[in-house]
Amino acid sequence: MALWSAIRDRHFRQQIPIREIERRTGLSRNTIPKYPRPDGRKPTFKLPDRPRKPDSSAGELTGWLRQDAGKSRKRERTTKQLIADLVALRFDGSYGRTAAFIRCWKTDRQRE
């Protein structure tokens, strides 16, 4: 909300060109023109629904993460090692979604 109104203010009131707004905000040159719409509507960006965790092997992965949580940082398995172990058990999920699940699990554990 604040970013949206700041971009509109810079573009319409201060007459700053879009390229200069790009430099100041660090946003993509393809994103900036979507914000200062003359009709005043906010841009909407659709994100596809993705499963948060690998369904078929979430139990085993969570168990391994709990085992490694008690170990020192050097002794716990890396994400690559965990996924390699899952692949050995015929896991066919993607690396990205599994790594995202591991990251999410670790941040939830830190909050607790």
pLDDT digits (tens, 9 = 90+) for 2-39: 777 778 778 778 888 888 888 888 888 787 777 766 67
The model's pTM: 0.50
**Opening angle at CA 95, ends 90 and 96, nearest 5:** 150
Q: Are 52 and 64 in contact (CB under 8 A)?
A: no
